[in-house]
Amino acid sequence: MPIIVNLDVMLAKRKMSLTELSEKVDITIANLSVLKKNHAKAIRFSTLDSICKVLDCQPGDILEYVDD
């Protein structure tokens, strides 16, 4: 899929662990891991909203389109 999730990059920039993010956005580590590994099929606006709020970033910082 040409949409890349750069969640790990944003986590590193904010010096935050996946566990900490999981607690703050109230999503299980398992689900965040699926998202981070680019295995997710879709992402809810509410999830994106929470992640952007916690990481203080824009959706574009997390999602990236790469032409195959």
Contact residues toward other proteins (CB under 8 A) are 8-9, 11-13, 15, 17-19, 27-44, 47
Q: For residues 17 and 58, which CB has a smaller minimum distance to other proteins in the complex?
A: 17
Residue 52 C-beta: closest distance to other proteins, Å: 14
Distance from the Cα of residue 13 to its chain's centroid: 13
Residue 17 C-beta: closest distance to other proteins, Å: 4
Residue with tokens 């699926």: 34
Q: For residues 12 and 53, which CB has a smaller minimum distance to other proteins in the complex?
A: 12
CA distance 33 to 45: 18
Helix axes 18-25, 45-55, angle to 10 degrees: 120
